Amino acid sequence: MVIITGVTFINKTVDHVLSLCRKAKEIVIMGPSTCMAPEVLGKYGVTVLAGSSVTDADLLLRIIAQGGGGMDINKCTEKLCVRISARRT
């Protein structure tokens, strides 16, 4: 099992990290910066996505503008966990 943080999208290492996971039975990408695109990431062998979705964009922007942090944005986001495919064999 491989668990990858969503930060790999930000630092542009996701392609390289996924290339190292060819034998993994499960590939999970998780964290608030996870790109929730199952149609795309499923093609790369990712089996589970665990990230966040914004539920109130105006509140989120206000919190960020006021210097709010991770715990503050829980008020305007929801956590999601999506199984893309069954475990790989």
Tell me: pLDDT of 83 over 70: yes
Helices (H), 1-89: 7-10, 14-19, 38-41, 57-65
Question: Would the pTM of this model clear 0.85, i.e. be above it?
Answer: no
Distances (CA, A) of 19 to 24, 33, 46: 11, 20, 11
Q: What is the pLDDT of residue 32?
A: 87
Which one, of 30, 23, 37, lies nearest residue 3 by Cα? 30
What's the token pair of residue 84? 């893309």
Model confidence pLDDT, tens digit, residues 34-76: 999 999 999 999 999 999 999 999 999 999 999 998 889 999 9
Q: What is the pLDDT of residue 18?
A: 96
Residues 6+ apart with CB under 8 A from 7: 31, 33
